[in-house]
Structure 1
């Protein structure tokens, strides 16, 4: 009867410990998933948000330099050759194209891809206006060239900058979402770690109880006949 009770208790303990171990293993896997999610979020913040944000800054700089180069050519007293100005504009165009290709290598959400496509369209339109201005200057029509530069040129330039501002706003919004996701993963990791520690403590307590029960069951009982013998004497 005693051994039957011991086996029954050990069987229950084995089931309990097995369940605890399964929970610990499951918690470990979930923790690993959360850590990978945190790593992916921070990597995405750098690769897909910080790099595009820096690229937008350089794109804006090149656009303003193009605008300033053409403006100096039109309104400066020191006249430059159209070929020299055209070479400057082409250098900025190559830089812009390189930056756009770098931007396109990052992960783009639908809204971001649409805005980038609009920006590329505006860039092409503005480049054509620059070519028109230079063509007018080549034939000596500076007044008309200034008019094109000021009216449609200014409007197109502002639209291009607005596209960049829109892209910058998208980076900020998605970056905030990634930070929120990272915080959720960190919180989940903390909860799971606490549960794992609790389960480890419970496992230790169960082992201690099993050891004590085993010692109590295996401890020999005092001989009652021997006690009676001494009492009779």
Structure 2
């Protein structure tokens, strides 16, 4: 009898160990997936901030510079002179515009965004030359044409930020929902584990009692 009890005890322990091992493996896998999702969330939030919100700020500043530059040139043409203060202001705007373009260039681009950005970047040297030579008869038209081209490119880039930001936000929400489902799965797994262990323990106890019965007393 003791040999049967020992054999059944070993068999019960093996079942419990197998259940524990299976559930713990699932929990370990779930934990690894959670870590991966946290990394994805960090990447998404970083992209939203660094490559979308910051870039939107660059675009706003570049648009402001183009507007201000255009008005300075118009003012100089109307007065038929380019004074030292206006010239210095134009140069300061050109330096700031070049700096913003370089900052923008260091961010992550979509394929469309990269193409439009390069088109805008090609306009910058020509825009930076406007206003220093008032003797140019076509200066007024050149100022208007290049400024409006630059602003049009910036509008497209701004629209891209909006659509990409929305896409990243939806992606982030999807990751958060996956993480929530994973947490629920872990809770359910723990509850199932507790129930299975209880069933195996009670089953073992019931068999032990039957084995311990003495037939001649029945």
Tell me which interval the TM-score lies in, with the shorter structure as reference length: 0.7 to 0.9
User: Is the aligned partner of 1:51 residue 2:54?
Assistant: yes
| Aligned equivalent of 2:43 | 40
| Aligned equivalent of 2:78 | 75
The structural deviation recorded for 1:68 is: 0.9
| Aligned equivalent of 2:32 | 29
Work out which of the two has the higher radius of gyration on C-alpha atoms and give 1 or 2: 1
Instruction: Report which stretch shifted further, 157-166 or 10-19.
Output: 10-19
Distance in 1 between residues matched to 2:96 and 2:43, nearest whole Å: 30
Instruction: Report which stretch shifted further, 90-99 or 120-129.
Output: 120-129
| Aligned equivalent of 1:231 | none
| Aligned equivalent of 1:141 | none
| Aligned equivalent of 1:98 | 99
The structural deviation recorded for 1:110 is: 2.8
- The gaps in structure 2 that reach 5 residues or longer are none
Does the CA-based 8 Å contact 1:129-1:148 persist in structure 2?
Answer: no
| Aligned equivalent of 2:12 | 9
Distance in 1 between residues matched to 2:129 and 2:194, nearest whole Å: 77
Higher RCO (C-alpha under 8 Å, 6+ residues apart)? 2
Offset from partner CA, 1:43-98 (integer Å, 9 cap, x none): 1100111000011101111111111111112225xx65443322211110011111
In the superposition, the TM-score normalised over structure 2's length comes to 0.88
Distance in 1 between residues matched to 2:123 and 2:16, nearest whole Å: 72
Q: Cα distance 1:119–1:72, how it changes in 2: closer, same or farther (>3 A)?
A: same
1:1-233 equivalences under 5 Å are 1-76=4-79, 81-132=82-133, 134=134, 136=135, 145=136, 148-219=138-209, 221-223=212-214, 225=216
How many residues of Structure 1 are paired with residues of Structure 2 in the alignment?
Answer: 214
Distance in 2 between residues matched to 1:104 and 1:199, nearest whole Å: 48
Offset from partner CA, 1:129-185 (integer Å, 9 cap, x none): 4334x3x1xxxxxxxx5x523323211111110111111111112112211211221
SS at match of 2:107: coil
In the superposition, the TM-score normalised over structure 1's length comes to 0.83
- The gaps in structure 1 that reach 5 residues or longer are 137-144, 228-233
The structural deviation recorded for 1:226 is: 5.1
Instruction: Report which stretch shifted further, 174-183 or 210-219.
Output: 210-219
Distance in 2 between residues matched to 1:127 and 1:225, nearest whole Å: 110
Structure 1 residue ranges (4+ consecutive) displaced by more than 6 angstroms after TM superposition: none
RMSD over equivalenced CA pairs, Å: 2.1
Distance in 2 between residues matched to 1:37 and 1:84, nearest whole Å: 50
